[in-house]
A and B are shown apart, each in its own frame.
Chain A
Amino acid sequence: MSELDWQFFALLLSNGILIGLMYALIALGFVLVYKATDAINFAQGEFVMIAGFVVAVGVGTYGAPLWLAITIGLVAMIAFGFGLERVMLRRLIGRPVIAVVMATIGLAAVLRGFGPLVWGAGTKSLPLPISEEPIILGPLFIPPIQLVGAGVSLLFLAGFTWFFLKSRRGIAMRAVADNQQVAMAMGINVERYFGLAWAMTGIVSALGGIVWGNLLGVDVQLSLVGLKVFPVVILGGLDSIPGAIVGGLIVGLVENLAAGYIDPYVGGGTKDFAPYVLMIIALMVRPYGIFGKAIIERI
């Protein structure tokens, strides 16, 4: 390969890694809920969108300072997480898988309608005090927002890893995830931990909404980021935090490399397509992901 080819490759690689880490941030919200409550959240992208809306409207329409808008966004998403668990998901405990899947799909529809209805359908910008000039490192062009997103993502991944491994609440949450009845018998308030898990997802989604909202602009389309979560978590394993990072990196790299090398031949769009092909292969070969826990079923 010539010098130029190597530069192109390096550019795709660095872009893939950074985008991948930003996917990991959203996937983290998904993994937290699945790990603690066994519920799959098809509305993850919509969570991100709503958080983006709250912050963007706070800054843009009401002219609030950024720190205040972000605080409001975080508080709103935490309250939303707790409220959602109390009103909707607690009533679906013990019901078949399709009930929870459909309930979160329904929730996604409600949120996708709610956002534009309340805040208008136009795309809103979410300005952050970060320069838009790319950082140039040799052959690489790195937009600073991607760097920030990747940093936030790594920070949270490290934080939640510590939380689940070392902290008292984190260990309790793992117990709840492992076996709800035994956890109850050990004196753990299972419902409270369910609420906590959804609130933690709210926090992660709020941050995801801020970085992705800055990158893409805030409108209904922002929720499509949620569709990228599925290849990430399936590759990494639905209940694994390190899996979210690894899955995110794989998806980020694969879609950038595919877009760089295959797009010219098929006329675009491989970016949205390649991760799912990879996911199907992963499902056939290793259904529980790279780090996921295999479930042994008994009658």
Chain B
Amino acid sequence: MIHRESGLLKTTYQADMALYPLPVAKWAVGAIAVLAFVVVPLVLDEYYLSICNLISVAVVGALGLNILVGYTGQVSIGHGAFMSVGAYTAANLANRLGSPWPVNLLAGGLMAALIGAIVGIPSLRIKGLYLAIATLAGQLIIEWTINHVTFISGGVQASIEVARPRIGSMVLSSHRAIYYFLLVFVVLAIVATLNLMRSRVGRAFIAIRDQDIAAEIIGINIFRYKLLAFAVSAFYAGVTGVLYTYFLGIANYEQFQLGVSIDYLAMIIIGGLGSVLGSIFGAIFVTLLPIAIRYAMEAFGGSVFDRGTVLNLIPALRLIVFGALIIGFLIVEPEGLNRLWRNIRSYFRVWPFAY
């Protein structure tokens, strides 16, 4: 039954912290699940499913970064590198030991968490701008190490081929199979993040974001929780790297350079800092943006620019639109797409009244 809430009637903490504040939310989540698991793979062809797969990978990464930046308030420009740590750990394990994908996935995540915690150590003494620069250094140092240590990167090209994941005797080689594979992890990441933020740990993260000295005074062990935030966030990033590697079939450091760290930061800024739904919106938006620009340029670019050069302009144009969107959201709607969604929702919820 669809009905509207009228006022806040919560009388217990359980009710206040419930994942589904209203019965209608349960229906909505159910509908989205049916859409994602049944309708999308039936309707879309392989090409569009590969785009969906890119989005799935991005959602996991964006959720992880949002835990660190949005919820704990620690800036990281090193998440691309954490992803590469996960990717190369998994690729090396798969090729050297022939271990199955669940082991590789877990090992990739844990290795990234370890490296993330190490990169996060400076956060205990420094914050804000200085921390941003320290994580930038982390990104460049990890990038360099992977590229130059042949034991990790596996040779001159610094890329390692990885066999497709297999479940039992079934090899997940089509985009449709990978789609289900990735979707499971998207659901896991969303549920884990939502629950983490309702727990004692999540509350500690938020307290550190709001005022870290005050958080320390009320008894939160900043040392532990800051490193934990880095580790958890890097774990997500590592898993993202492994998933991306399985999606591509190859681990390559060029897929995880500084630009990727910035892409993910853009996702959570555009989507909304400190919001699970915002991470998802942002991941979808930023992943679709270059594809949309390419379509638009192929369709209309010829009338504005010289036909032959249109395709060469796309990377430059993508950068401009991308940067302008980041700046635009920061100035006009700092809370991102999530806020826009909430505004729309509350408009319809109370319609036809103003509030």
Given contacts A105-B262, A113-B317, contact A97 B132 (CB under 8 A): yes
Given contacts A283-B130, A299-B213, contact A103 B330 (CB under 8 A): yes
Stretch at the interface among A21-29, A51-59, A268-276: A268-276
Chain B binding surface SS class: helix
Chain A residues 256 to 299 lying within 8 A of chain B, measured CB to CB, are 266-269, 272-273, 276-277, 279-280, 283-284, 287, 297, 299
Cβ distance A29 to chain B, nearest Cβ, rounded Å: 16
CB neighbours of A107 from chain B (8 A)? 323, 327
Q: Which of A106, A110, A114, A284 contacts B125 (CB 8 A)?
A: A284
Tally of chain A residues near chain B (CB < 8 A): 45
B130 lies within 8 A of A287 (CB): yes
Decide if B44 is an interface residue (CB 8 Å cutoff). Answer: no
Given contacts A40-B129, A238-B129, contact A99 B334 (CB under 8 A): yes
Stretch at the interface among B24-32, B91-99, B139-147, B200-208: B139-147
B141 lies within 8 A of A280 (CB): yes
CA distance A268 to B149 in the complex (A): 11
Decide if B128 is an interface residue (CB 8 Å cutoff). Answer: yes
CB neighbours of B171 from chain A (8 A)? none
Stretch at the interface among A3-11, A87-95, A148-156: A87-95
CB neighbours of B148 from chain A (8 A)? 266-269
Decide if A116 is an interface residue (CB 8 Å cutoff). Answer: yes
CA distance A230 to B141 in the complex (A): 14
Given contacts A234-B130, A297-B213, contact A106 B323 (CB under 8 A): yes
Cβ distance A232 to chain B, nearest Cβ, rounded Å: 11
Decide if A109 is an interface residue (CB 8 Å cutoff). Answer: yes
Given contacts A117-B320, A272-B140, A297-B213, contact A284 B147 (CB under 8 A): no
B214 lies within 8 A of A299 (CB): yes
Q: Convert B285-299 into 0s and 1s, putting 1 for each residue whose CB lies closer than 8 angstroms to a CB of A.
A: 000000000000000
Tally of chain B residues near chain A (CB < 8 A): 47
A106 lies within 8 A of B326 (CB): yes
CA distance A105 to B265 in the complex (A): 10
Q: Which of A91, A114, A273, A280 contacts B316 (CB 8 A)?
A: A114
Decide if A98 is an interface residue (CB 8 Å cutoff). Answer: yes
CA distance A117 to B301 in the complex (A): 13
CB neighbours of A117 from chain B (8 A)? 313, 316-317, 320
Of the A-B pairs whose beta carbons lie under 8 Å apart in the complex, a sample of 23, sorted by A's number, is A92-B330, A97-B128, A103-B326, A103-B330, A103-B331, A105-B265, A105-B326, A106-B327, A107-B327, A109-B323, A110-B324, A111-B323, A112-B323, A117-B317, A238-B129, A279-B133, A279-B137, A280-B122, A283-B125, A283-B126, A283-B134, A287-B126, A299-B217
| A-B residue pairs, 3 tightest by C-beta | A113-B319, A109-B323, A106-B326
| Chain B interfacial positions (CB closer than 8 Å to A) | 69, 73, 75, 121-122, 125-126, 128-130, 132-134, 136-138, 140-141, 144, 147-148, 211, 213-214, 217, 262, 265-266, 269, 273, 312-313, 315-320, 322-327, 330-331, 334
